[in-house]
Amino acid sequence: MLTRIGISLENALLSQFDTLIERRGYENRSEAIRDLLRKALVSDAWEGGDENQERVAAVLMVFEHDASNLTQKLTHIQHGHHAHVVCSLHVHLDERFCLEVLVLRGSAHEVLSLGENLIATKGVVWGRCLPATTGEELQPRYEHPHAHP
């Protein structure tokens, strides 16, 4: 069920929003606003939610593969937290640099702590921990035809 609402925006802000919508490929303003709301809700859940509630996050790291046993250090950390590392992807970017992407799952504290620990490992030249959602607290984009009320 959808509920229609109205909002008031300055012309300049609406013009910038329409440019953003076009650049990102949204079908309409409503879908773009729904997406912004979902992002805000996920962010709020991470900031003010129950620290013991299950969370997921993606960790991205770029590093030099020859940097002082770094690959072994990162693998050792992951094995020490194997219950929280759902999967990993290792990509050779060129002859020097690698990108590693990990999906982590656990309590907010466990996931963020592990993500930050990996990123802070000496030799990681760039890293980011991106909090995500299991989807449980968000409404779907559409009603699934087999959904039960």
At 107-144, the pLDDT tens digits run 988 999 999 999 999 999 999 999 998 887 776 655 55
Average of per-residue pLDDT across 32-50: 85
Burial of 103 (C-beta count, 10 Å sphere; 0-12/13-18/19+): middle
Higher pLDDT, 10 or 47: 10
The per-residue pLDDT for 26 is 94
- Segment (H or E) for 23: helix 11-24
Q: Indicate whether 59 pLDDT > 80.
A: yes
Predicted structure pTM score: 0.76
Average of per-residue pLDDT across 23-44: 90
